[in-house]
Amino acid sequence: VNLLLVGSFADDEGAAWAEALRQALPSHHLLLDRKPGLAIDVAIVANPPPGSLRGLAGLRLIQSLWAGVDRLLGDETLPAGVPIARMVDPAMNEAMAETALWATLSLQRGFYRYAEQQQQALWRQLPQPRADEWPVLLLGYGQMGRQVARRLAQQGYPVTAWRRHAATAEAAPGVTLCQGRAALQLALAGARVLINLLPLTADTRGLIDAELLARLPPGAAVVNLARGAHLVDADLLAALDSGAIGHAVLDVFQVEPLPAPHPYWRHPKVTVLPHAAALTDLRSAAAMVAANIETLARGGTPTHLVRRDAGY
């Protein structure tokens, strides 16, 4: 089949993807540019510029290299009726679990505060709560949420995972599942750390606002690993400055890269990551894409298809 790779790549990232995909799909034809008269079967996309896929007749699959497809679905020129598959990469899920565990350990044990103290050459021991005294609330329980929940529970944290809707997914050992608005309000009141892993949809945009933050106990922390637009920045900054929220770990922002003058960069209670909580792993991601394309070539149905109406 004919494959077209389209994305907004930094530096030689596009070349690295092309190389990994060609190795994983040796019997198919990968193009980096549209050629007049050549029909494309599969578009492999990574944050493609809007309009990139316009007019691609005969397209049978759009395979995203990103797990989040909110920007992709926002492109109104996207060919209608073509199935979209998102990236589900076990190595990426594991990377997300590592970041969530690192942030939770850092918050529980005061390691962000020790880093601040180091800057002042200040020698002072902080309280040492146990993991079982440090409840974590996850928003979202998809592929990534499940791996995050499993790792945190394995390390001894009481984990509650909240979903917007009841679903059939089973809870991992040590994980409590809940759903709906009322359950969320209850769960917020008991959480030391709130970790956001939701998909960005019309329903979840701006979910983490002043009202939600006010339901967390004093000094609780916010860890946003999903999308910048889930969070109302002004509300978070106000809660940090009043002390209502103790710390925030932010990997995603309304505008990326985060502009240099943004107050998050220099806020003593904010840890900024450059959208690096879970990078796609070229090796395992190319293998997942290849499996989907071989399935399609054999006439089967690719996995991890997006529901366009749900937005993820």
Q: What positions carry a catalytic annotation?
A: 227, 275
**Cα–Cα distance measured from residue 92 to residue 252, given in angstroms and rounded to the nearest whole number:** 16
Q: What is the DSSP letter of 196?
A: E
The backbone region for 17, taken as left when phi is positive above 0, alpha when psi lies in -120 to 50, beta otherwise, is alpha
What six digits make up the tokens of 288?
């997942």
What minimum distance in Å lies between the beta carbon of 49 and a copy of itself? 20
Say how many residues make up the chain.
312
For the sheet with 193-196, list strands across it: 175-179, 159-163, 136-139, 193-196, 220-224, 245-250, 270-272
* Identity of the residue, 257 or 299, whose beta carbon is nearer to a copy of itself in the bound complex: 257
CB 197 within 8 A of CB 145: yes
- Binding stretches for a copy of itself (CB under 8 A): 91, 94-95, 98-99, 101-102, 105-106, 108-111, 114-115, 117-118, 121, 123-126, 128, 130-131, 151, 154-156, 256-258, 260, 265-266, 271-276, 278-279, 281
What minimum distance in Å lies between the beta carbon of 296 and a copy of itself? 28
**Cross-strand bridge partners of residue 159:** 136, 175
Dihedrals phi, psi of 30, to nearest 5 degrees: -100, 120
What minimum distance in Å lies between the beta carbon of 288 and a copy of itself? 15
What minimum distance in Å lies between the beta carbon of 258 and a copy of itself? 6
**Cα–Cα distance measured from residue 117 to residue 299, given in angstroms and rounded to the nearest whole number:** 60
* Identity of the residue, 274 or 300, whose beta carbon is nearer to a copy of itself in the bound complex: 274
* Identity of the residue, 19 or 98, whose beta carbon is nearer to a copy of itself in the bound complex: 98
* Identity of the residue, 204 or 224, whose beta carbon is nearer to a copy of itself in the bound complex: 224
Strands 175-179 and 136-139: unpaired
What minimum distance in Å lies between the beta carbon of 71 and a copy of itself? 18
* Identity of the residue, 220 or 250, whose beta carbon is nearer to a copy of itself in the bound complex: 250
* Identity of the residue, 98 or 209, whose beta carbon is nearer to a copy of itself in the bound complex: 98
Distances (CA, A) of 26 to 21, 56, 288, 293: 8, 23, 14, 12
CB atoms within 10 A of CB 241: 12
Q: Which residues contact 140 (CB under 8 A, 6 or more apart)?
A: 161, 162, 163, 196, 197, 198, 199, 226
What minimum distance in Å lies between the beta carbon of 203 and a copy of itself? 29
Burial of 218 (0-12, 13-18, 19+ CB in 10 A): exposed
* Identity of the residue, 53 or 250, whose beta carbon is nearer to a copy of itself in the bound complex: 250
CB 140 within 8 A of CB 197: yes
What minimum distance in Å lies between the beta carbon of 152 and a copy of itself? 11
